[in-house]
Amino acid sequence: MHDGCAGNFNSGLDILNKIRTMNFNNQPMPAVMTIRCENCDGRFQMENFEGQCPDCGMVYAVTPCHAGDPSAVRAAGINV
């Protein structure tokens, strides 16, 4: 069952699994975000609900409900 914006996620991997299950991961976000990678400190443009740092491979995810909040983008792991 879909829990809308009330979903409680413990990690970036939880978010990633949810958006992949719902097929949102490759959909474009309402606005592109510049993300600072927490692994290598590089910066990249996150255009979809799932993004990957081109320098180190860290994968990031955000739910559609929280795509307007950069603090809601969470790291899920390298090359997951």
pLDDT digits (tens, 9 = 90+) for 4-58: 576 678 999 999 999 999 999 999 999 999 999 999 999 999 999 999 999 999 9
- Three-class SS state of 5: helix
**pTM, whole model, 2 decimals?**
0.91
Residue-number span of the structural domain to which 63 is assigned: 4-78
- Asked if residues 59 and 16 have their Cβ atoms less than 8 Å apart, the reply is yes
**Structural domains of the chain, count:** 1
pLDDT digits (tens, 9 = 90+) for 43-54: 999 999 999 999
Please tell me the distance from the alpha carbon of residue 64 to that of residue 68, in angstroms, as a whole number. Answer: 8
φ, ψ of residue 65 in degrees (nearest 5)? -65, -25
